[in-house]
Amino acid sequence: MPDHSTAYIGTAFVAGVCLALTYKELSRSKQDENATEQPRTKDLVARPGPPTIVEGIEGCIGNTPLFRIKSLSDETGCEILAKAEFLNGAGQSSKDRVALSMIEIAEEQGILTPHSGDTIYEGTSGSTGISLATLARAKGYLAHICMPSDQAIEKSNLLLKLGAIVDRVPPAPIVEKDNFVNRARALAKTHTASSGLSPPPSPSAASAEEKADLPEPDESMKRGRGFFADQFENEANWRAHYEGTGPELYAQCDGRLDAFVAGAGTGGTISGVARFLKPLLPKLTVVLADPQGSGLFNRVVYGVMFDLKEREGTRRRRQVDTIVEGIGINRVTANFEAGKELVDDAVRVTDAQALAMARWLVEKDGIFIGSSSAVNCIAAVKTARKLGPGHRIVTVLSDSGSRHLSRFWAKAGDVGGAVDTKLEDVMNARDEDFE
The three-state secondary structure class of 12 is helix
Q: Where are the beta strands (DSSP E) in 102-152?
A: 119-123, 142-148
How far CA 21 is from CA of 10, 42, 109, 296, in Å, comes to 17, 32, 74, 81
Q: How far apart are CA 284 and CA 380, in angstroms?
A: 14
User: Which residues partner with 305 through β-bridges?
Assistant: none
What would the DSSP string read from start to end of 186-210? HHHHHHHHHHTSPPPSSTTSPPTTT
Query: What are the two backbone dihedrals, phi and then psi, of residue 228, each rounded to the nearest 5 degrees?
Result: -90, 110
Q: Answer whether 61's CB lies under 8 Å from 100's CB.
A: yes
Query: What are the two backbone dihedrals, phi and then psi, of residue 309, each rounded to the nearest 5 degrees?
Result: -95, 5
Q: Answer whether 145's CB lies under 8 Å from 129's CB.
A: yes
Which are the contacts of 235, defined by CB distance < 8 A and separation ≥ 6? 334, 335, 338
Query: Is residue 95 flagged as an active site residue?
Result: yes
The three-state secondary structure class of 164 is coil
Q: How far apart are CA 25 and CA 21, in angstroms?
A: 6
Whether the CA torsion 267, 145, 174, 373 is positive or negative: it is positive
Q: How far apart are CA 96 and CA 137, in angstroms?
A: 13
What would the DSSP string read from start to end of 37-91? HHHHHHHHH---SS-SS-STGGGGSS---EEE-HHHHHHHSSEEEEEEGGG-SSS
Which are the contacts of 294, defined by CB distance < 8 A and separation ≥ 6? 307, 320, 322, 327, 328, 329, 330
The three-state secondary structure class of 24 is helix
Q: Answer whether 250's CB lies under 8 Å from 273's CB.
A: no
Q: How far apart are CA 319 and CA 290, in angstroms?
A: 15
Q: Which of 95, 278, 364, 382 is catalytic?
A: 95
Q: Answer whether 211's CB lies under 8 Å from 193's CB.
A: yes
Catalytic residues: 95
